[in-house]
């Protein structure tokens, strides 16, 4: 018996850790390339992005990088879940061809002194609650988009403001990659999947679907004819107030293009919120109509 030839499946995904390895792998990769940037701790939400990229691309690149520059709380960065072996299995099963797992030094070369900052869009909501967060996001996403030179990059609607900010950045900087929005993937009880969910205590986990429930209460009010922005925000706050473990950070009913709070909802709107359960901070959103 001769040696078994490994099936191509067994070689996937190709793991690359340096800029040079990524460039080399992509130089001969069939196009179009689809890029899925993540911070790892991959779950079904990430997998849905990779599957979408798989369906639309000849080469799928996922990136795993827990970006220190976008964390405004040291504990959140240090406690962020990391499991490379599990992530590679998830990435392979979802269809990734290449997984880029760089070190901090590889992403930010020694002496790095460039940041990318988007304006007013980053000042509301997550930007107001997490100083410096979006500068970290836009800087790393700009670097990843430049390194990959992908035709498309896939982002989750779960981070609705991030999606808007990344789109704005790509347009402003003339980055040719098309930014593709993908729907929020939820647990059966409605909780939006998040790498932070695993850090909730069982009691907090049981309470966490209140984010979705509060958004649905506002949606129900909207569908019953409510068009007053503050009344919709109050509907969300009312449901959250009934859950003692939930500490709301912000509740918003905003223009989905500018993220300015709306007095009246005469067109599309974005309902969004951030809620703390102990030290864990969760976000969710729902676009109206």
> Which window, 22-30, 37-45, 124-132, 267-275, contacts ligand AMP (CB under 6 A)?
37-45
Could you tell me the smallest distance in angstroms from the CB atom of residue 160 to ligand AMP?
8
Length of the chain counted residue by residue: 289
Active-site annotation holder among 46, 69, 199, 281: 46
Binding to ligand AMP by residue 45, rule CB under 6 A? Answer: yes
Q: Site for ligand AMP (CB under 6 A): how many residues? A: 17
My answer on whether omega of the bond before 289 falls inside 30° of 0, hence cis, is yes
Binding to ligand AMP by residue 192, rule CB under 6 A? Answer: yes
Q: Applying CB under 6 A, which of residues 65, 71, 155, 277 lies at the interface with ligand AMP?
A: 155
Q: How far apart are CA 203 and CA 183, in angstroms?
A: 27
Q: Applying CB under 6 A, which of residues 193, 208, 232, 273 lies at the interface with ligand AMP?
A: 193
Cα distances from 55 to residues 47, 58, 96, 154, in angstroms, run 12, 8, 11, 12
Q: Applying CB under 6 A, which of residues 15, 25, 29, 185 lies at the interface with ligand AMP?
A: 185
Q: Indicate the pairing of strand 152-156 with strand 98-100.
A: unpaired
Our measurement of the distance from residue 264's CA atom to the centroid of its chain's CA atoms, rounded to an integer in Å, reads 28
Q: Applying CB under 6 A, which of residues 158, 205, 212, 233 lies at the interface with ligand AMP?
A: 158
Residue 133 known to be catalytic = no
Q: Applying CB under 6 A, which of residues 13, 16, 22, 46 lies at the interface with ligand AMP?
A: 46
> Which window, 150-158, 240-248, 263-271, 274-282, contacts ligand AMP (CB under 6 A)?
150-158
> Which window, 7-15, 141-149, 190-198, 225-233, contacts ligand AMP (CB under 6 A)?
190-198
- Helix, strand, or coil (residue 247): strand
**Which strand ranges, in their side-by-side order, compose the sheet holding 33-38?**
14-16, 98-100, 59-64, 33-38, 152-156, 178-182
Radius of gyration in angstroms for the set of CA atoms belonging to the chain, rounded to a whole number = 20
Binding to ligand AMP by residue 49, rule CB under 6 A? Answer: yes
- Structure tokens of 276? 């703390």
Q: How far apart are CA 268 and CA 286, in angstroms?
A: 11
> Which window, 25-33, 92-100, 189-197, 270-278, contacts ligand AMP (CB under 6 A)?
189-197
Cα distances from 185 to residues 84, 188, 284, in angstroms, run 22, 10, 11
Give the nearest residue (CB) to ligand AMP.
Answer: 156
Q: Where does 235-279 show beta strands of DSSP type E?
A: 247-254, 269-277
Our measurement of the distance from residue 131's CA atom to the centroid of its chain's CA atoms, rounded to an integer in Å, reads 17
Binding to ligand AMP by residue 96, rule CB under 6 A? Answer: no
Could you tell me the smallest distance in angstroms from the CB atom of residue 153 to ligand AMP?
9
Could you tell me the smallest distance in angstroms from the CB atom of residue 17 to ligand AMP?
18
Binding to ligand AMP by residue 280, rule CB under 6 A? Answer: no
Q: How far apart are CA 262 and CA 271, in angstroms?
A: 10
- Helix, strand, or coil (residue 153): strand
Return residues touching ligand AMP (CB under 6 A): 38-39, 45-46, 48-49, 155-156, 158-159, 182, 184-185, 192-195
Residues recognised as catalytic: 46
């Amino acid at each position: 018996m001769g040696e078994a030839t490994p099936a191509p499946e067994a070689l996937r995904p190709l793991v690359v850790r340096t800029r040079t390895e990524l460039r080399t792998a992509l130089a001969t990769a069939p196009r179009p390339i689809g890029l899925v940037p993540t911070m790892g701790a991959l779950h079904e939400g990430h997998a849905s992005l990779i599957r979408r990229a798989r369906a639309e691309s000849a080469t799928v690149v996922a990136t795993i990088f827990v970006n220190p520059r976008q964390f405004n709380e040291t504990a959140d960065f240090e406690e962020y879940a990391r499991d490379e072996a599990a992530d590679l299995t998830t990435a392979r099963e979802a269809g990734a061809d290449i997984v880029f797992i760089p070190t901090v030094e590889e992403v930010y070369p020694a002496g790095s002194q460039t940041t990318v900052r988007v304006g007013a869009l980053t000042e509301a909501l997550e930007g107001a609650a997490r100083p410096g967060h979006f500068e970290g996001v836009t800087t790393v996403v700009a670097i990843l988009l430049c390194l990959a030179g992908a035709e498309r990059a896939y982002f989750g609607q779960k981070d609705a403001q991030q999606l808007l900010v990344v789109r704005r950045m790509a347009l402003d900087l003339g980055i040719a990659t098309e930014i593709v929005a993908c729907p929020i993937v939820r647990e059966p009880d409605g909780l939006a999947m998040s790498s932070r969910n695993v850090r909730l205590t069982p009691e907090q986990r049981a309470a966490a679907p209140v984010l979705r429930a509060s958004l649905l209460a506002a949606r129900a009010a909207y569908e019953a004819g409510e068009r007053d922005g503050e009344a919709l925000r109050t509907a969300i706050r009312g449901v959250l107030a009934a859950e003692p473990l939930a500490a709301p950070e912000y509740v918003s009913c905003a223009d989905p293009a500018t993220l300015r709070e709306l007095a009246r909802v005469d067109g599309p709107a974005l309902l969004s919120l951030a809620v703390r359960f102990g030290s864990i901070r969760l976000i969710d959103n729902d676009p109206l109509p």
